[in-house]
Structure 1
C-alpha cells in the first residue's frame, strides 16, 4: 500500500492535531480485540509506538508518555486469530486487497491476526497515560474527546459497552 495507515483514518484531524508525523504501526501494544457481530466489525485498542510530538500542555505537565486509541474496522471478513494473550506487541500492516478493501495483519511471537475490511478506519477514544509497572495501562488516562474526559479517568472495564461499542 502506498498510503500510510493514517490516510485511511477518519476523522484524521484527531491524529494530525497531535503528530507532525504519524508513526507507522510497528511495535504497537495491542491491548484488546473486540468483535461486533452486528457490524461485522473489529476494534483494536492499541498504544501507538511514539508519543505525539504536539501533545496538549496538560499531558506534558503530567509527564504522560503513551498514547492509546481504538481503531474500528468495518465489513470484516475472513478473520483468523491465533494465540491471543493480551497485551501483545505486534507490527500491524494494512495493504490494499481489492476495490475499497484492505487486508489487516498483526503478528508477534505470541499471536496472529488477519482479516479483510473496508478501507476506511474509524479512530476514537484517544487518551494519554503513563505506563505502569509491567507496561500496564491501568492508571489514570487523560482523554482527547470531551465526553470521554467527562465520563472516564481511566480505561473502563469491558462491561462498559458504550466505550467499547462506539467510536
Structure 2
C-alpha cells in the first residue's frame, strides 16, 4: 500500500505524481514541529523525485524540488532520539487503527502515534544553482 493511501487527502500528492507517489526514502527533512494545538506534529521535507509532468506553473519558474508538509493530528505519543542539523532520512508511515510515523537517519530517530495524517502544504522551489 502506498503511503498516500494513509492520508486524509491523498489526491494532493496523487494528482501531481499521477498515482505513482515517490518513496519517502532519503528525504531532506527541514523541520519537525510539535504543537500543543491538536496536539499535533508537523514534518516538512523535500521529496527525492520531481514529478515527470510537473504543473505548468512550476515548469515556467524552473522549479526542481517538491516540498511537502505533513500534519499528524491528535498526537498520542512522540519519542525523539538524537538530533542533526542536516538530517537526510527515511519516513515510514503505517496505520493499524492509529497512524504511526517513524523518521530515521543515522543521527536521529523520531517515532510518533497520531489519530490522522494529511498534507498540510505542498509546493515547489529551485534547489541549487
TM-score normalised per structure 1: 0.70
Task: Report 1:4-23 matches (<5 A).
Answer: 4-20=2-18, 21-23=20-22
Query: 2:29: which partner in 1?
Result: 30
Please provide the CA RMSD for this pair: 1.6
How far residue 67 of structure 1 moved from its aligned partner, in angstroms, is 0.3
Specify every segment of 5 or more residues in structure 2 that has no aligned partner in the other structure, as ranges.
Answer: none
How far residue 90 of structure 1 moved from its aligned partner, in angstroms, is 0.8
Specify every segment of 5 or more residues in structure 1 that has no aligned partner in the other structure, as ranges.
Answer: 134-167
Higher relative strand content: 2
The alpha-carbon distance between structure 1 residues 53 and 9, as it changes in their structure 2 partners (threshold 3 A), is farther
How far residue 25 of structure 1 moved from its aligned partner, in angstroms, is 0.8
How far residue 92 of structure 1 moved from its aligned partner, in angstroms, is 0.7
Task: Report 1:122-133 matches (<5 A).
Answer: 122-132=118-128
Query: 1:108: which partner in 2?
Result: 105
Structure with larger Rg: 1
Distance in structure 1 (CA, Å) of the matches to 2:112 and 2:120: 20
How far residue 83 of structure 1 moved from its aligned partner, in angstroms, is 1.9
Tell me which stretches of 4 or more aligned residues in structure 1 moved more than 4 Å: none
TM-score normalised per structure 2: 0.88
